[in-house]
Structure 1
């Protein structure tokens, strides 16, 4: 193999890592299934938060609205005339 122009031999390694220990040139091993699941979990959480803002109401709000509707219905029924 011919020497490079800078006087170093190239053995298929990236010159950027020439002066570093071999173990530092390797990238971190990752589990692709874990990464995919983590990404999907984050996306589902974000979608749930958006839906909660758009459509969500607390149990207290639902109970208050139901009580208000029942009160209005009783008020309306009390003002009906008999024919």
Structure 2
């Protein structure tokens, strides 16, 4: 879970391959306004860092950042978040 503060902040989420198979982040989605995501590397690796850029408004509540990968056994990862006022 990511805990976001209202106002502009950057957060990092590290994804690690437990089976030692390299993977790439193919896309990231989030429906909450003010929360943007960027994958930091397009190259296959055993771990990937996803940067969450947040400027959520107070009262945004909760949401999910959906991270899609090309890993053979885990193509979608849902990372829940909450916005603190």
Normalising by the smaller structure, the TM-score range is: under 0.3
Q: Rg larger in 1 or in 2? A: 1
What is the TM-score when the length of structure 2 is the normalising length? 0.16
Higher helix share: 1
TM-score by length of 1: 0.16
- Where is the strand percentage greater, Structure 1 or Structure 2? 2
